Structure 1
Amino acid sequence: MSTVANPDPPPEPGPEETARALAELELYANHTTPDPRPTAPPAPVVPAAAPPGVTKRVRRLRAEVAEAHLLADLQGDDTPLLLDTPKVRKRRKAAQQAARLHALAQDPEMRAWQAARMRRLLVAAALVSLTLALAWSTAGVQLFAADGAPAWSPAWIFAWLVEPFLSLALLVVVGARAYLGTRGQPLNDRKLIRIEWLFLGLTLGMNAWPYLPGGLPDGTDFSLPRLVLHILGPIVAVAIVTALPVILAAFSRLNHDPAHGRDGGLTGLTYSADTARLIDRTQALITAGELPDSPSAYKIQRALRCGMDDARAVRDAFRTHDG
């Protein structure tokens, strides 16, 4: 029976290997075991010293240059210019209001209302002026009617009543003609016209006679300014009575449709884009036979389902074209 011989034992490590092994073991222990000693705080960061020559003036100029570059980049954006300023919005609001007022002024109903208001104003002013003119001539008529009667005598007092009852009779005729004229029924009866002229002639004659050469007292010189001053009232009354029927007759002939332009209305109006589209739609409906050739504003509004102002504008456009 054979036997196996024992292997040779490993050689013992030398001093260098032992030192190296101890060093590795110590390094491993230092990495795995926390150091019980307190750690020192990190050292503060000391800013780098500015290069020589960088003064406060240099830093300020550098900031201005950087700001200028940023402003140059922002100025290239036109977005702020697209916004309306308060002044622009105020002007746009005023322009829109003016456009709507102009469109409203072309409406026949508005034009009729304006004419009626102006007519009433003119009639009232004429009657007030006529009353004042007749009152002005009262003194001249009193002097003629008193015929030298003593002051405060019965003849002198009743002489003040001559002009008032003449003026009242004249105002009755003039007022009736003025009122009927405002209702489109001018009263041009010849008898009434003769009555007016009779009263005016009497008033003018009684005012002028005491200051004419034949009616002046002895030793009184004729004075043309005095004569004109006393006949001024009757002359104004004659002018008003003559002009008022003519003015009222002109008002009664007014045509308030601006399409005809007989009362100074605008012709050849320029329509907006919306109105032009409505006109085209209306023309198509007329061609299709759904609307008559000259439709009214009510029919246009019902057919197009638009506002009455737009319907009137379309109606006026077709009337202008037909005219």
Structure 2
Amino acid sequence: MTTMIPASSPEPSGEDIARGLAALELAANDHPEVETQTVELFETAEPTGETKRVAELRAEVAEAHRLAVLQDDDTPLLLESDKVRKMRRKAAEAARLHELAQDPMVRAYKAAKMRRLFVGVLVSALVLALSWSTAGVQAFAADGAKAWTAAWLFAWLVEPFISLALLGVVGSRAYLAVQGTPLTGEAETVTKRIEWLFLGLSLGMNAYPYLPGIAAPFELHRLVLHVLGPIVAVAVVLYLPVLLRGFTDLNFGTGEASAEGPHKGGTPGAYRENARTPYPRTPPVRTPNIEALAARVRALIAAGELAPDPGIHKIRAALKPMPCSTDTARAIKNAL
């Protein structure tokens, strides 16, 4: 305990000082732990050292610990990126297109599309080849007539009417082959003779003026150029029915057609087991009820909506939107 001495009090004497020191010594003897704690506090106290560098390092260490924990989590690796999703979408689309391409209806559609393409190319080549030979035939038929005279003008008609006749014969034979009733026997022989006659006339009239012994001087390249058109026409005429018959014989069903049927040797449905998701098989063909359809046509005739003796196309139009093929309409007409 500190004794406050007023400023106005007299200066302490030596006796007073001695008494004060004795009192302090007595107090220290009564509470020795106070002095010990005070000394220990001053001996062990150190500065904290919490500087800016220490705080930054502590934050960096704490961040590293948190990153180490988060890096062990593989969840971000399970997420799909935009590239992965795009590739997955393209792969799924390719798989579905592959599966769809094996469907019988799609295969039939593609075959019909390719048939139109090939027939168009071949017919175009045939028309160009016959047009190419027109000039040669005209020179042969004109026989030196002056330009724009009657003989010179009529000479231009020789090759066109031969070509039209040839195209008509070839086209009809090809159409019958596509419908599954190709010409056979004597009819096929006569038709082929007619085709060869027309082609021979065109080839002969083109080549004759340029044959050795006829042309003076003989030039091979001129002969080749003039016979090129008829030769191409012969090749197209011979191949076109074969091509159309081949497309007609394609089998887009299950490959179970009878060997005696019109589709023998067709492509079997061997893809079906490899498909990822089996597509439905071709539905069975339902036989139409001819009697019921004929009764409906009779009712339309009685109501005046159809003529008493309607044609096949009229019957098909009257039964729409019901499916009615040409064969079915023919059977209905026979039943009437």
Q: Output the TM-score relative to the length of structure 1.
A: 0.62
The structure-2 alpha-carbon separation of the partners of 1:193 and 1:132, relative to structure 1 and needing over 3 Å to count, comes to: same
The answer to whether 1:104 aligns with 2:100 is yes
CA distance in 2, matches of 1:170, 1:60: 99
Q: Following superposition of structure 1 onto structure 2, how do residues 53-202 of structure 1 map, counting pairs within 5 Å?
A: 55=53, 66-188=62-184, 189-202=188-201
Q: Which runs of 5+ in 1 are unaligned?
A: 1-47, 279-294, 299-323
Aligned length: 227
Q: Which runs of 5+ in 2 are unaligned?
A: 1-46, 257-264, 285-336
Deviations 1:214-237 (A, max 9, x none): 331xxx422212211111111110
Deviations 1:86-121 (A, max 9, x none): 222222222222222222222222222222222222
Deviations 1:165-189 (A, max 9, x none): 1111111111212333333333452
Deviations 1:196-216 (A, max 9, x none): 111111111111111112331
CA distance in 1, matches of 2:269, 2:77: 41
On the 8 A contact 1:259/1:267 being kept in 2, the answer is no
The structure-2 alpha-carbon separation of the partners of 1:139 and 1:223, relative to structure 1 and needing over 3 Å to count, comes to: same
Partner of 1:227: 223
Partner of 1:212: 211
CA distance in 2, matches of 1:262, 1:138: 41
Partner of 1:269: 273
Offset of residue 271 of structure 1: 5.2
The structure-2 alpha-carbon separation of the partners of 1:84 and 1:115, relative to structure 1 and needing over 3 Å to count, comes to: same
The structure-2 alpha-carbon separation of the partners of 1:60 and 1:137, relative to structure 1 and needing over 3 Å to count, comes to: farther
CA distance in 2, matches of 1:148, 1:240: 32
The structure-2 alpha-carbon separation of the partners of 1:49 and 1:104, relative to structure 1 and needing over 3 Å to count, comes to: same
CA distance in 2, matches of 1:239, 1:111: 28
Identity of aligned residues (%): 59
On the 8 A contact 2:104/2:282 being kept in 1, the answer is no
On the 8 A contact 1:106/1:258 being kept in 2, the answer is no
The answer to whether 1:240 aligns with 2:236 is yes
Cα RMSD for the two superposed structures: 3.0
